[in-house]
Amino acid sequence: MKRLLTFVTVLFVTLFTSLAQDIEVSGKVVDSKSKSPIEFATIKLLDKTSGSLLVGTTTKADGGLLLITQEDDFVLEISFIGFISKTIEEYEISNGKVDFGTILLEEDSKLMDEVVIRGERSSTEFRLDKRIFNVGQDLSSTGASALEVLNNVPSVTVDIEGQIQLRGAGGVQIMINGKPSVLTSDGGSALGTLTADMIESVEVITNPSAKYDAEGTSGIINIVLKKEEKRGINGSVSLNTGVPDNHSLGFSLNKRTEKFNLFSQVGVGKRKFPENYKGYNRNETANTEINNFGERDKGESFLNVILGTDYHINDNNVLSLTGNFAYEWESETSLINYSAIGADNVVSSAWQRDEVTSATNPKWQFEMQYKKDFSDKKDHFLLISALGSSFSKDQESSFNNTPEFGEEALSDQQQTQTDFGQVEYTFKADYTQPFTEKITFETGGQYLITDVGNDYSISNWENDQWVVVTDLSNSFLYNQKVLGIYSTGSYEGEKAGIKLGLRMENTDLFTLLEETNQENNRNFTNFFPTVHTSYKMRDNFSLQAGYSRRIARPRLFDLNPYYNIRNNYSIRTGNPDLLPELTDSYEITGIFDHKTFSLSSSVYHRYITSTVENVTRFEGDIAISMPMNIGTNKTTGWEINGKYTPLDWLSFNGDFNYNYFHREGTYESTDFDFNADQWSSRLTTKIEFPADFTLEMVGNYQSKRQTFQSLMSGYAMADIGVRKKVLKGKVILNLSVRDAFASRIFESETIQDSFSQYSHRMRGRFVTFGLSYGFGKGEAMEFSGQKRRF
């Protein structure tokens, strides 16, 4: 019996093996026009009856394909982006082989045009805890830096100093690819070295979940950089020039293979930013005044290089390495005219103060990241990363006073020297576990170390030598360690969703003013709960609600008690005793989406304690400004964003933000309670003309706003852009005019019982012309390698 079973088994195995003979499928895929081989074309063998996938692969560098199958009734399908897909059903099997020979693919010009058009249009995505603004190819961002891109994002404004506000409030945490970056540090304008062509999207997170770092009272802005994943070699290059001096070059190159993705981006540029300035300080008690007016000219040259690689160890494991090096050369000159007016309203003296400043700012950053995808469920993964960065600044400024007349106009020479260094390390781990398709659990931790040293000295020219002013010079050391751990749980059904989270952060801060041996040690722990909910009332209408608690820790330049003497009648200094701000943020949002019209509207409320305000005091005719914790701030606001596309060639994007705030605070036993409001709006109109011409017009308005002591004026401005595509979008010509009517003027006025102060600044119109070219499988960039700081 056993022999019979053995014989039957061998017989069936032999019969099955003979019936399931391997069939070798081969061929070569080439471009029908150029006859060049097409690498990485997708090859599929499909079951002829069911259409299910039997086996698949991609073509090699020579266009060759090779597949092995045991099915003899199949369909061969070949596809590649930009080409018409091809299906072959007829073939002959000879000696267990099928040779399809040379397979010609034809370019699909219509599809390529559609891909370019889709890529041009910015779009907004709504997630449970954030909004994503895809940068697209907006003309208003032509020749732009990251700061200008942000200024075109709804809810975000950027002032002339590059300070970023979200819904009219500061305390914004800027991240790059979800992590802190040396390019967003306070020590320089490095964010401007990121060019618009490097940016994939901008995420605006007004109520971040517990997964995110709790830093930033008004929320998080996350800049997501492009990392091309197209197979083969692709890239683009752009060249820009403009008035005032505005010249730059941007370059990107990517190589994608089955195992590796190698990517690089380079931006170089040289800029000048002329500025007109005027202001006054008035001592109301003595009835005296110091007037000043003049011009400043800031020049900047920069280099920014990003290199990285993704190594796909296998389908479930990826190791990424990224390096970023940036270098800035800064120069600044100014000539300011001063005059002193006495109590009799007569000019008693006059003099000129000129400045020459030069600085170099080298920066580098590296990151290693490992991602483990688990095969049991989609979006089940472990992410571990280590990031290190360094930023240095070596700056020297010289100031020279030249008297014109009067006893107060004395000849004087001063100089300042800054030796700044910052090193930062971030270690992070995130784990996501979906229990079901609707329930997901997240947990993780982060450890951030920041170590800073800043040597700053002021010297006067006395007796034919430089003498350091010890009272105004210092060496300031700053070390901060933040440990954070979090957990979140979410449920997302077809109609309703909820996400709950809790984050704990321990902060260990140490500062030392070496000259006076003044130490400041603080260690505190905070808990940050978050709640996010959503409900889909109809297919095209949903509601979202959220709550989060945030913190804004004092920055180095807020703590460092150095004196900025650029204008020695208007001095800014830091406050080493500054406390962090804490914010409770609430928000309800409605989202409506239609084929030609989309609209989102939010009502929000923020309650901020230990609010940080710049407080100005007068000593004689000198105004000294210092950040201080002044009371609380309650802000309630309404925001609306919409897009309307009545015709294929015409679209409108608009946003409007209004908030009302109630301030309660006391300074030197005096109540400074007040109520005020502010609003801003933006409207973008895009018109597509025949022959691939596009016109874009952007109008902005920012209302006046009140602070603890001052009133900031409002302004209106307009940007205009024109674009022309040639060679099916491979070459793009851009012309942009920012602040077309030179109407973006920044005015600030402070009126108190004993003093008043006023300043007026304007930079004027910027015109940029650019050309970009896409090669390989790349598309032309809409933007340049520009560095620009407002």
Question: Does the pLDDT at position 211 exceed 90?
Answer: no
Mean pLDDT confidence for 602-625? 89
User: Would you state the pLDDT for residue 632?
Assistant: 93
User: Would you state the pLDDT for residue 110?
Assistant: 44
Burial grade of 691 (CB within 10 A; 0-12, 13-18, 19 or more): exposed
**Distance between CA 516 and CA 477 in Å, rounded?**
12
Neighbours of 469 (CB within 10 A): 15
If pLDDT is split at 50, 70 and 90, which confidence band does 14 have?
very low
- Tell me the residue type at 625: S
User: Would you state the pLDDT for residue 227?
Assistant: 59
Which is higher by pLDDT, 186 or 61? 61
Question: Does the pLDDT at position 8 exceed 50?
Answer: no
User: In this structure, what are the phi and psi dihedrals at residue 340, rounded to the nearest 5 degrees?
Assistant: -105, 130
Which is higher by pLDDT, 527 or 265? 527
Question: Does the pLDDT at position 150 exceed 80?
Answer: no
Which is higher by pLDDT, 781 or 391? 391
Neighbours of 378 (CB within 10 A): 10
- Tell me the residue type at 205: I
Least confident of 252-261, 515-524, 593-602, 671-680: 252-261
User: Would you state the pLDDT for residue 161?
Assistant: 56
- 444-495 per-position pLDDT tens digit: 999 999 999 989 899 998 888 899 988 888 898 999 999 999 999 999 888 8
Mean pLDDT confidence for 263-287? 89
* 372: Cβ contacts below 8 Å, ≥ 6 apart: 316, 317, 381, 382, 383
Question: Does the pLDDT at position 637 exceed 90?
Answer: yes
User: Would you state the pLDDT for residue 10?
Assistant: 44
Question: Does the pLDDT at position 122 exceed 50?
Answer: no
If pLDDT is split at 50, 70 and 90, which confidence band does 126 have?
low
Q: How far is CA 778 from CA 223, 231, 410, 451, 735, in A?
A: 22, 10, 62, 41, 22
Which is higher by pLDDT, 140 or 405? 405
Domains of the chain: 18-107 (2.60.40.10), 232-498+509-776 (2.40.170.20)
Encoded tokens for 386 = 């280590």
User: Would you state the pLDDT for residue 228?
Assistant: 54
What residue has token string 């722990």? 525
What residue has token string 């409108």? 652
If pLDDT is split at 50, 70 and 90, which confidence band does 614 have?
confident
**Distance between CA 456 and CA 446 in Å, rounded?**
32
Question: Does the pLDDT at position 146 exceed 70?
Answer: no
Share of the chain above pLDDT 70, in %: 83
Nearest of 381, 380, 361, 379 to residue 371 by alpha carbon: 381
If pLDDT is split at 50, 70 and 90, which confidence band does 16 have?
very low
**Distance between CA 212 and CA 219 in Å, rounded?**
10
Element (DSSP H or E) covering residue 149? helix 146-151
User: Would you state the pLDDT for residue 56?
Assistant: 75
User: Would you state the pLDDT for residue 205?
Assistant: 79
Share of the chain above pLDDT 90, in %: 30
Question: Does the pLDDT at position 431 exceed 60?
Answer: yes
Question: Does the pLDDT at position 342 exceed 60?
Answer: yes
If pLDDT is split at 50, 70 and 90, which confidence band does 595 have?
confident
Mean pLDDT confidence for 99-112? 72
User: Would you state the pLDDT for residue 192?
Assistant: 53
Give me the chain's average pLDDT, please.
82
Question: Does the pLDDT at position 117 exceed 80?
Answer: no
User: Would you state the pLDDT for residue 617?
Assistant: 87
Q: How far is CA 58 from CA 77, 101, 261, 317, 574, in A?
A: 11, 16, 16, 21, 60
Least confident of 190-199, 547-556, 718-727: 190-199
User: Would you state the pLDDT for residue 784?
Assistant: 32
Contact predicate 697/723, CB 8 Å: no
- 357-396 per-position pLDDT tens digit: 999 999 998 999 999 988 777 789 999 999 999 989 999 9
User: Would you state the pLDDT for residue 121?
Assistant: 38
Cis status, amide bond into 244, omega within 30 of 0: yes
Nearest of 448, 581, 451, 425 to residue 505 by alpha carbon: 448
User: Would you state the pLDDT for residue 127?
Assistant: 64
Q: How far is CA 90 from CA 393, 533, 633, in A?
A: 69, 55, 75
Which is higher by pLDDT, 593 or 757? 757
If pLDDT is split at 50, 70 and 90, which confidence band does 108 have?
low
Pairing of strands 172-176, 164-166: unpaired
Which is higher by pLDDT, 315 or 651? 651
- Write out the E strands in 34-178: 42-47, 53-58, 64-69, 74-79, 86-88, 97-105, 124-126, 131-134, 156-158, 164-166, 172-176
User: In this structure, what are the phi and psi dihedrals at residue 726, rounded to the nearest 5 degrees?
Assistant: -135, 160
